A and B are shown apart, each in its own frame.
Chain A
């Protein structure tokens, strides 16, 4: 079996087995055993819902520490546009990028420009595409993993255009290596991430290729130092030259709907939040969704601005992105990739994903279908005995999941507290029969315990 690397770790010391994570996990990847949360690694899609609900801070997102930068001779920050959403129009992107350099990066690039470019590439792809529709965006690695695990039959719908962060990292590395005359491996590209799942898309890309990014730093970790760094910057020169290259088309990628808005004349769906995505994918599988060309889906509410490693309130940052776009429009900052250039690069396969995306469906009840059918019947029979209220006290997320855990040997029927009364009656009868065997009477005062005193 493949070993899956995950961006989430449970801290046993802190975990009090309060089971909030158990209930929110969309793929039922968590069990509580002996009072501690445990992950079923092949089920986890790194959505981070457990991080958000844990009252003890026992779910630890794994991102890189700042010290990772020292591994490279030249370092480049590639911030998610969600970083801009932390500051809005009070601190414009040029200042944020300058602040990152002050912080210790040799360079900080604007990813929004590449996002805009990729928007054009997606338009181009849709124009020429004849396969199954709708296409589903691959920008959110959790959504890609959700499809691999729970909707493997939709895998052909995933857009084969690479993500802006990967394309940007690939190109800047190439460019800098040439310019500085150093090998590409000496250049470190770091994504500034709003969520832990991007870490996984770097360490273990879903397509099994290799990422062009070298690490990911959490926006939450960098927020404080960045604020101080920006305070010590000199006032920006006017007119703000550095601002001119910021692409407002791409800034919208930080929020749900931003990508769809750039795909003119296309019918699209923009959906955020895993419960909502599940509804859309269920309908899609049944053939209920028709005449839609493109689905933009984000695991976090409101899109990347809702990631668990952001600082600003999710809804405020959504507003900040919208206002930032308006401000830049007002300032007449309208940097826009050249569509003819995008088409030329498109022809050269510049935007396409490297590697092949494979499904990794959840294991069936059994590899052999006859045995799977028998196990399904056993599972249903156990389920019938259970209270069917999904209390979670057994450590499985639902009665149905518990029934499956029992037939797969991962749990025992006695773990269900609702089956205890029956068990207690059985035990009581056993004790009575034992008592009778030893010849003692039920009312015999001698078996009243001597530990009364």
Chain B
């Protein structure tokens, strides 16, 4: 057996995944893995549902627009955090990008069912907090947070 661990309630689980821009074939794998981990940890189904959607949209943003990115999952007893950082074109006008229906997706992406301009608004809708920082020409960082409702856990 492993060493007996000290009880540290604030120490969370941290796992990182890399995402390759333009790799539509594997797109969605990271969010599936993240969802599996949340299930293992016994997170409430309703929160998992929202987390899965937010994670997928964030992953797809990297696949569609960036060269590459990192998806970092952090879970503490209080919250689930996703930090998604990419090396890509960045977002010149974040406020505009947050509007539903606004999209810079190419025709090809639209044909694949993406680029309806729902990505960031959809993340915001499903997360409890969303922070976006971006530098044009360098990349974008999304910080997504979902609060765990301790009282409602099964």
Q: Does B39 contact A (CB under 8 A)?
A: yes
Contacts of A365 in B (CB 8 A): 40-42
Whole-angstrom distance between the alpha carbons of A366 and B5 in the complex? 15
**CB-nearest residue of chain B to A372:** B41
Contacts of A406 in B (CB 8 A): 1
Is A374 in contact with B5, judged by CB distance below 8 angstroms? Answer: yes
Whole-angstrom distance between the alpha carbons of A364 and B35 in the complex? 13
Whole-angstrom distance between the alpha carbons of A381 and B39 in the complex? 19
Q: Does B18 contact A (CB under 8 A)?
A: no
Whole-angstrom distance between the alpha carbons of A283 and B28 in the complex? 8
Whole-angstrom distance between the alpha carbons of A397 and B14 in the complex? 26
Is B35 in contact with A286, judged by CB distance below 8 angstroms? Answer: yes
Is A286 in contact with B41, judged by CB distance below 8 angstroms? Answer: no
Is B49 in contact with A376, judged by CB distance below 8 angstroms? Answer: no
Interface size in chain B (residues, C-beta < 8 A): 38
Scoring B residues 28 to 43 as 1 if CB is less than 8 Å from chain A, else 0, what string do you get? 1001100101011111
Q: Does B72 contact A (CB under 8 A)?
A: no
Is B153 in contact with A369, judged by CB distance below 8 angstroms? Answer: yes
Among candidates A285, A361, A366, A369, residue contacting B35 with C-beta atoms closer than 8 Å: A285
Contacts of A378 in B (CB 8 A): 2, 5
Q: Does B12 contact A (CB under 8 A)?
A: yes
Q: Does B48 contact A (CB under 8 A)?
A: yes
Contacts of B43 in A (CB 8 A): 369
Is A286 in contact with B2, judged by CB distance below 8 angstroms? Answer: no
Contacts of B48 in A (CB 8 A): 153, 285
Is B28 in contact with A286, judged by CB distance below 8 angstroms? Answer: yes
Contacts of A282 in B (CB 8 A): 28, 32, 35
Whole-angstrom distance between the alpha carbons of A101 and B49 in the complex? 50
Residue of A152, A290, A380 with most chain B CB atoms under a 10 A cut-off: A152
Is B28 in contact with A369, judged by CB distance below 8 angstroms? Answer: no
Scoring B residues 20 to 58 as 1 if CB is less than 8 Å from chain A, else 0, what string do you get? 000000001001100101011111011011001101110
Whole-angstrom distance between the alpha carbons of A282 and B35 in the complex? 9
Is B122 in contact with A372, judged by CB distance below 8 angstroms? Answer: no
Contacts of A286 in B (CB 8 A): 28, 31-32, 35, 52-53, 55-56
**CB-nearest residue of chain B to A377:** B13
**CB-nearest residue of chain B to A379:** B40
Q: How far is the CB of B148 from chain A (nearest CB, A)?
A: 7
**Given the contacts A373-B75, A382-B2, A287 and B42 also touching, CB distance less than 8 Å:** no
**CB-nearest residue of chain B to A381:** B2
Is B40 in contact with A372, judged by CB distance below 8 angstroms? Answer: yes
Cβ < 8 Å to B, chain A residues 375-424 = 376-378, 380-382, 406-407
Among candidates A285, A374, A376, residue contacting B52 with C-beta atoms closer than 8 Å: A285
**Given the contacts A370-B77, A373-B75, A376-B13, A287 and B53 also touching, CB distance less than 8 Å:** yes
Is A376 in contact with B37, judged by CB distance below 8 angstroms? Answer: yes
Whole-angstrom distance between the alpha carbons of A288 and B8 in the complex? 37
Residue of A287, A365, A380 with most chain B CB atoms under a 10 A cut-off: A287
Contacts of B32 in A (CB 8 A): 282, 286
Q: Does A99 contact B (CB under 8 A)?
A: no
Cβ < 8 Å to B, chain A residues 203-230 = none
Q: Does B113 contact A (CB under 8 A)?
A: yes
Is A287 in contact with B148, judged by CB distance below 8 angstroms? Answer: no
Among candidates B1, B15, B45, B56, residue contacting A287 with C-beta atoms closer than 8 Å: B56
Q: Does B76 contact A (CB under 8 A)?
A: yes
Q: Does A362 contact B (CB under 8 A)?
A: yes
**Given the contacts A370-B77, A377-B13, A152 and B45 also touching, CB distance less than 8 Å:** yes
Q: Does B7 contact A (CB under 8 A)?
A: yes
Q: How far is the CB of B131 from chain A (nearest CB, A)?
A: 21
**Given the contacts A373-B12, A376-B40, A287 and B153 also touching, CB distance less than 8 Å:** no
Contacts of B5 in A (CB 8 A): 374, 377-378
Is A369 in contact with B2, judged by CB distance below 8 angstroms? Answer: no
Contacts of B31 in A (CB 8 A): 286
**Given the contacts A373-B13, A376-B13, A364 and B42 also touching, CB distance less than 8 Å:** yes
Q: Does B9 contact A (CB under 8 A)?
A: yes
Q: How far is the CB of B29 from chain A (nearest CB, A)?
A: 10
Other than the given A285-B35, A290-B113, A363-B42, 20 more pairs (CB < 8 A) read A153-B45, A153-B48, A155-B45, A282-B32, A285-B48, A285-B49, A285-B53, A287-B57, A288-B56, A362-B39, A366-B42, A367-B42, A370-B7, A370-B9, A373-B75, A373-B77, A374-B5, A376-B37, A382-B2, A406-B1
Closest 6 CB pairs of A and B: A364-B42, A286-B56, A153-B45, A287-B53, A153-B49, A369-B77
**Could you list which residues of chain B lie within 8 angstroms of chain A, going by C-beta atoms?**
1-2, 5, 7-9, 11-13, 15, 28, 31-32, 35, 37, 39-43, 45-46, 48-49, 52-53, 55-57, 75-77, 113, 122, 148, 150, 153-154
14 A-B residue contacts at CB 8 Å?
Answer: A153-B45, A283-B28, A285-B52, A286-B55, A361-B154, A364-B40, A369-B148, A370-B77, A373-B13, A373-B75, A373-B77, A376-B37, A376-B40, A377-B5
